[in-house]
Every structure is written in C-alpha cells, then in structure tokens.
Structure 1
C-alpha cells in the first residue's frame, strides 16, 4: 500500500477574504526533480491543485503516480490537457521502468532504470510535453477527483526523461482558477512544507502578508 500524506490548509475566517475580496485561489505545487531546466523562477512549473478555500481544508494523497503526454504549450496560465495517459483512469506507474510513448499510447518497456524515478522515452518523431501525475482528495474543498499533472517538460524524439517526485509542497495564492495549470511566473509569498507519511501538517493564513505559515 502506498504511503499516505495529509495537509491541512486552514485560513479560517480569511477564506472568504481570499476568494471574494482578494479574488484568489489556493494553489499547491510539488517538487519533482527532472535533471533538466524547467525554465521557471519557481521550484515547480505546474499548479498541481487549485481550489477555492473553505475555513478548513483537509487534503490527502498517496505516493502513487502515473505518466502523461500532452501538446499543451509551456506557457503561463495554460491548462494542461492530457492527450495520452498510461490508462484511463491511470493506474500507478512503476518506478524504475521506462515507459515508451509512440505518439499515441504509452507502453511499458523491458528497459530498467533507477528506482525512485519514473521514466518516459519518446519513441515518436514529434515533440510532446511529458510529466507525471498524482491524485489528491479533500473532505470538503473543491478539489476535483482524478490524476493531475505535477510537472510539464518538453521531450523530443528518442529523448528519455526522468521524473523524481518528492513530498515537498509549495502553498501559495494564485489568480489561476483550475488545477493542472502551468505556473512559470513568480508565485509571490509561498509556504514550503516537507511532509512525512502518516504525519499531518497544518497551515494557517497570515492575511497581512498574503501567505500561509506552518503551525
């Protein structure tokens, strides 16, 4: 069974101020190492989860990932359309395995690679964007079910890409309205959180600084 993580984002009475006065949403991004330049000033280039906060928001997920391909450009505010995933709905991908993408579908190859990372080889002759996805759920907030991209990286023909996820998240306010949105511009005040399996983390909101802080 995959390890489980819990993040409680509790702006309390400031939830209404964030949504209706500041006209923002709460964004969660995750650290994924790729070994390539993702061309952003931020430690991640995708807002993994974006939602209108309630007073208390319990977000949970498991260390379970899948792979995807897309033709969405790496441009600020673009919503990532997953043109191809491992399956629908995507099952967990295996780390240490190379998944080949032929331009239409993913296929698990016999090639082995470093464990702890997820690998994609573009066997087509076209340029696509690639990344890994993960699902999160919430007891109350407007997080939608389904696997959502964590990162987006261009990959040309015959290129092999490596994705190594970490349970480090970044929480900040955003003007974007949807999860899986490319976010390459500077985020503004951000709260960096390192999570451990089975240990909940709670954040409070500091309105004067428009940022979250770990309790």
Structure 2
C-alpha cells in the first residue's frame, strides 16, 4: 500500500497581492500553480513512466509520446520499437525500471499525480536521456523543494526570478504546513501567524 502525503500552503493577502503583481507562481518540485490564501496538495507514493522526444535542458516543456499511468516497484517496463510501453518483463529491479528498445535515444522519467486545491494534476518528476538498448531505474525520495518563481521572455531578454527554496523531507510525518513570509519573501515551515 502506498503512503499518502499532504502539504498545506498559506498566504496572507499582502503576500498574494505581491506575488500576483510580480506574476509569480508557486513551484513544488514537479508542479506549479497560482496560489490562493489556503492551498492543499495531496498525493500518494504511486508513479507512472513516460517517454518523450523533448531534449533534456533547463526550461524545456516535456511533450509526452507515450505514458504508462501506473507502474509497480521492482519491475522493468520495455519501451518497444513501435513506440509504446509493454507490460513488465522478467527483469527484477530495486525500484522503478524501464529499457529503451526503441531505435533512438529518448527522454524518460517518472510521473506522479497530485490533487492541487481539489484539481488533479499529472506531472513529470524527472527527465533523463536513455540511449537505445539501455535501461534506467528511478528511485523516488519524498523530499519537496518549494519556492515561488516567474519567467518572462520579451523577445530580447529572458528573465527568471525565484525565491529561496524551502526543502521539506517527509520521513515519519506525512503532513506538513508552510506559509509564505511576505517580509523575507520565502516559505517558512509552520502556520501563518495571525
């Protein structure tokens, strides 16, 4: 049975106004969203795998060619020469595995589904290039990096803005509360002061 996790994020009106005027969004490892005063992210330790022809580079938007929505730990899933994932083969791995049997290098990684303020979001967790006939294995850890960021492209200059990152490690606790400190402009663990 997979563990269930949650993260509650709170913002004061002043913080939301400042973030909105700067066009900044909340970034949590694998997803981004425009915040409300009270936000909740819920997810389970359940994963899928994907294949993409998108090159691994900073800022790239991954376009999936094929996705297997649910995979089991200790299994290896072949990505076949026809361009889709087969069921698990006989190879035993320690975590979540795949083998690229397609005739060229592709980008592969894990996907995870979360509920963000009641809306389901399915996003990529990682991206690596796997050459033809190579295998890859992914071992997720339940550590989140949380920050706010914005990116602008006016045609002449690309500007990236981000706050300091708060790193949250989920060990025995599966629920965390954080708030955005609008004086320091970063996330802090705990509840929003009254």
Q: 1:127 aligns with which of 105, 109, 114?
A: 105
Where do 1:80-159 residues align within 5 Å?
80-86=62-68, 90=69, 92-103=70-81, 104-107=83-86, 108-114=88-94, 117-139=95-117, 145-159=120-134
Q: 1:176 to 1:9 in 2, by over 3 A?
A: farther
Question: Which structure would you say has the larger RCO, counting Cα contacts within 8 Å and 6 or more residues apart?
Answer: 1
Change over 3 Å in CA distance of 1:94–1:76 after alignment to 2:
same
CA distance in 2, matches of 1:22, 1:211: 14
Q: Which has the higher strand share?
A: 2
Unpaired runs of 5+ residues, structure 2, are 153-159
Cα RMSD of the aligned pairs, angstroms, is 2.1
Deviation at 1:55, TM superposition (A): 0.6
**How does the TM-score come out when normalised to structure 2?**
0.85
Distance 2:34 2:147 in 1: 12
Match of 1:16 in 2: 17
Structure 2 CA distance for aligned equivalents of residues 186 and 122 of structure 1: 36
Cα–Cα, structure 1 residues 24 and 146, in superposed 2: closer, same or farther, change >3 Å? Answer: closer
After TM superposition, give the deviation of residue 105 of structure 1 in Å.
Answer: 0.7
**Cross-structure match for 1:56:** 38
Secondary structure of residue in 1 paired with 2:63: coil
1:28-47 to 2 correspondences below 5 Å: 28-29=28-29
Output the CA distance in 2 between the equivalents of 1:84 and 1:199: 31
Off by >4 Å, runs of 4+ in structure 1: 185-188
TM-score (norm 1): 0.77
Structure 1 contact 8–203 (Cα < 8 Å) conserved: yes
The range that moved more, 126-135 or 167-176, is 167-176
